[in-house]
Amino acid sequence: MGEFVRLDVEAGVGTIRLDKPPVNALNNQVQAELGEAAREATDRDDVRAVILYGGEKTFAGGADIKEMAARSYVEMQPFATALSASLTALAEIPKPTVAAITGYALGGGLELALTADRRIAGDNVKVGQPEIQLGIIPGAGGTQRLARLIGPSKAKDLVYTGRFVRADEALALGIVDEVVAPDDVYATAHRWAAQFVNGPAVALKAAKAAIDGGLDTDLRNGLRLETSLFVGLWATEDQRTGMQSFIENGPGKATFTGR
C-alpha cells in the first residue's frame, strides 16, 4: 500500500484508489505507486476485476504542473518514461478494468482513465486534454489511446484546443461509456466489475489480449493472434466446464473456477 495509492480488495473486486488531495495530481510518487498497484492487481489471484477510482470529488486533475515546470529537459526524460510505463501497466492488467470518474479527469487524469476497459462518469464530470494550453502535448497516452478510442479527427480536436468536455458530450464522443448520477458512479462501476468475479478468468484474459493486441497490428496478424488465443483455451478447465454445462443445462449456467 502506497502513501497516495492503495489497492483495496473485497469479494474479488480490486479498487485502485487514488487519495492525494485536493485533486489527485499525478506527481512522481503517485505515478510510481500506480504502477505498483497495477502490478499487484495483476499478480493477485483473488483480484478478478479492477476499478480505478479517485474518490467522490475528483478522479484526477492531471499532472503536478509545479513539479513538472521545475524540471529540465534532461530531468523530464526519465519522468515521462516512468509515467508512461506506469499507465501502461494499468492498461495491461489482464483482467476487466473500469474507471469510476467523478469531478474531473483532465490531462494525465484522462490518460489514466483511458487505460481502463470501460469508463463510467458522473453527469457533472468534465474531461479533457488541456496540455496544449501549457505549450506541450499529452505525454502519457493521450495522443494514442484517445485516438484509438474515438478516432483521430475527434482526438485532434480535443488535443489541439485543449477544451473541457462535459459528460454528455464525452458520452456522445465515446470517451465514456455510461453517465450516471454523481453519487452512483462507484456503485455502478462496482456492479460492472463484480459480474466477472466468478467468470472464466483465463478466457477473459485471452479476450482482452486479443482485442488490445489486435489493435496494435494489421487485420491478418490480429486474426492469427485471435486463433492462437482461442485454441489455447482448450487447455483450460473452464473450457471443459463451460461446454459440458452448455450441453447438459443450456447457456449461462456454468460454474467457473478461473483455471
User: Residue 131 catalytic?
Assistant: yes
At 29 the pLDDT is 93
Gap between the Cα atoms of 144 and 136, Å rounded = 15
**Chain centroid, CA 122 distance in Å:** 17
Look up the CATH superfamily of 5-194.
Answer: 2-enoyl-CoA Hydratase; Chain A, domain 1 (3.90.226.10)
**201-249 shares the fold of 5-194:** no
Of the candidates 3, 10, 75, 111, the residue annotated as catalytic is 111
At 66 the pLDDT is 84
Of the candidates 40, 67, 131, 169, the residue annotated as catalytic is 131
Q: Alpha helix (H) ranges present in 92-132? A: 108-113
In CATH terms, 201-249 corresponds, of 1.10.12, 1.10.3210, 3.40.50, 1.10.510, to 1.10.12
Distances (CA, A) of 98 to 15, 73, 197, 258: 10, 34, 14, 20
DSSP assignment string, 58-93: -SB--S-HHHHHT--HHHHHHHHHHHHHHHHHHHT-
Q: Are 12 and 199 in contact (CB under 8 A)?
A: no
Torsion 208-211-216-221 (CA) sign: positive
Question: What is the block-wise mean pLDDT of the chain (259 residues), using blocks of 10 residues?
Answer: 93 97 92 96 97 96 84 90 94 98 96 98 97 94 96 98 98 98 98 97 97 95 96 96 93 90
At 48 the pLDDT is 98
User: Residue 111 catalytic?
Assistant: yes
The residue among 140, 146, 126 whose CA lies nearest residue 68 is 140
The letter for the amino acid at 98 is V
DSSP state, residue 230: H
Q: Where along the chain do its domains lie?
A: 5-194, 201-249
